Amino acid sequence: MAGASLDRGKPAFIAGHRGLVGGAVLRHFREQGFGHLLTRTSSELDLRDADAVEAFFAAERPATVVMAAAKVGGILANSTYPADFLSDNLRMQVNVLDAAARHGATHLLFLGSSCIYPKLAPQPIREDSLLTGPLEETNDAYAIAKISGVLQVQALRRQHGVHYVSAMPTNLYGPGDNFHPTHSHVLPGLIRRFHEAKEQGAASVTVWGTGTPRREFLHVDDLARACLFLLENYDDPAPINVGVGEDLPIRELAELVADVVGFEGALEFDTSKPDGTPRKLLDVGRIHDLGWKAEIGLREGLEQTYAWYVEQLAAGALRAA
């Protein structure tokens, strides 16, 4: 089935369509001619509710499923609510993947996270580093849930012969991101802090940690392209990395965000706060060999994301503080 185009006329369920990833996948699938896209908000369908998920799949019978729904957050949220991150993600994954297999979904893509890999995995991180060492302590519960999803995909393939796959994106950003003051990831958090500092005329902005950890950032529209590409061109039990193949120190990222936002004050680093994993660069050789590469440069993507953030603020869609 690898290499076969999806039937764009059959139902396709984008789980988590209101999130950063799901929203981008929904936009891309629409652009690519999918005529029967299924979406449900969490109030319409609680993916943690097995009976509700079973009823949805029995009624709608999607042929394609993209599992982009997840409970996500940054270091603070993961450290504060580990039980919620483990429990909610496990239940959503088990319910959706099992129901998809029971009700005849022919294609499914499970989206994991680069945090599934060991904290000190050799860089760049290859897919076969999975389960070879201890996880980063600040998000181990979330990572374990995502690892379970990868193994569930593999188990469903072995037991039922389904063509389900899993992809591990690197750090994501873009329109639709979460800019919450305490529960956001590093990049939207920086955009918000620098914007507010600029608006308030602040002399400096404080960034968590030492600024030395290195991170890789993939625009969510590139990931959306990769999702459809993998559904049509990849059929293997092993997870596959999705990234850009290059990274930069958090200090340089902060300087770039400050420049894009137009903040001209000083940068200060709070070294009492955790750094997280020292480096997390994905080896993207396998997806490159298949013929896919990221297209959106970091500065271009940041400028687009910041413009979206400012538009949302002006429209009253986001709280200014």
DSSP secondary structure code for residue 275 in this structure: -
Kindly give the pairing relationship between strand 64-67 and strand 214-215: unpaired
Verify whether residue 164 is a known catalytic residue. Answer: no
Q: 292 phi and psi, to 5 degrees?
A: -110, 140
How far is the CA of 254 from the CAs of 48, 210, 214, in angstroms?
A: 37, 12, 12
Strand order in the sheet with 248-249: 248-249, 214-215, 279-280
Detail the residues annotated as belonging to a binding site for substrate.
193, 208, 215, 275
- Catalytic-role residue among 117, 142, 164, 234: 142
Detail the residues annotated as belonging to a binding site for NADP(+).
16-22, 111-114, 146, 169-172, 185
Helix H or strand E encompassing 301: helix 298-314
Neighbours of 184 (CB within 10 A): 21
Residue 137 Cα to chain centre, angstroms: 19
CA distance 1 to 291: 17
CA distance 25 to 306: 20
Q: What are the structure tokens assigned to 126, written together? A: 């290859």
Detail the residues annotated as belonging to a binding site.
16-22, 111-114, 146, 169-172, 185, 193, 208, 215, 275
Helix H or strand E encompassing 111: strand 107-111
Neighbours of 273 (CB within 10 A): 14
Contact 272, 208 (CB under 8 A): no
Please identify every residue annotated as catalytic.
Answer: 142
